[in-house]
Amino acid sequence: MAWLGPGDLALQQAAWWSAVLLAARGRPLAAAAGCLAGVLVHLALRPAERPRLAHVTLAAAAYGFATDTAIASAGLASYAGAGRVSPIWMVGLWAIFGVALTASLRRVASWPLPLLALLGAVAGPLAYRGGSALGAISLSGFSALCAVAVQWAAGLPLLALVARSRPTPAPRLVPVTAERPR
């Protein structure tokens, strides 16, 4: 699919910007809806890959929810529209990021794990700092950026491994037909 890389890159940027700006303006559900729409585009246009897409999307969403909640619970960050739990729009951003690892970031996902950890440790805090500058996240300083660096240094290689994997297909059920005695 020729559109996959460039099309997904545009989709990822649109999802990030719209989610962050909508969340900063008090519209977390609209922010999450944009991310969900991006995931649904992939599921609709890549039917042969739906099991893998669903697997990586759910893994990324779960990882992001757990780690962002831990960072918020530790008092290191607060997210627009949420207390000490990761908000739905952040979970949506993690979900669509998971899809990106199978599309526009598929080559990056194939890099060696230590290089992915280094990339995550740098890129994660930059993205969160950008969200902070736009008013969607409040960070408690350098310690918060360090926590995000650890989160992404662990998460990017882990999610890349999930994106590389192929889920075991469900067994096909073959109807059993009983022959009638003659």
pLDDT tens digit sequence for 120-161 = 999 999 999 999 999 999 999 999 999 999 999 999 999 999
Angle between helices 4-24 and 113-133 (to 10 degrees): 40
Whether 136 contacts 79, CB under 8 Å: yes
Here the tokens at position 144 are 């918060």
Measured between alpha carbons, how far is 156 from 113 in angstroms, rounded to an integer?
8
Share the mean pLDDT of the chain.
91
Task: Indicate the pLDDT class of residue 171, thresholds 50, 70 and 90.
Answer: low
Beta strands in 63-105 (DSSP E): 77-79
Q: What is the mean pLDDT of residues 25-36?
A: 95
Considering only CA atoms, which of 112, 109, 125 is closest in space to residue 8?
A: 109
pLDDT above 70 covers a percentage of the chain that reads 90
Contacts of 81 by beta carbon, 8 Å cutoff, 6+ apart: 23, 26, 28, 87, 88, 89
The pLDDT value recorded for residue 16 is 94
Amino acid at 41: V
The Cα 66–Cα 127 span in angstroms is 18
Contact 76, 139 (CB under 8 A): yes
Task: Give the Å distances, CA to CA, from 57 to 29, 102, 130.
Answer: 18, 10, 23
Q: What is the pLDDT of residues 37-84, one digit of tens each?
A: 999 999 999 999 999 999 999 999 999 999 999 999 999 999 988 888
Using CA atoms, how far residue 123 sits from 24, 113, 150, 152, in Å, is 21, 15, 11, 8
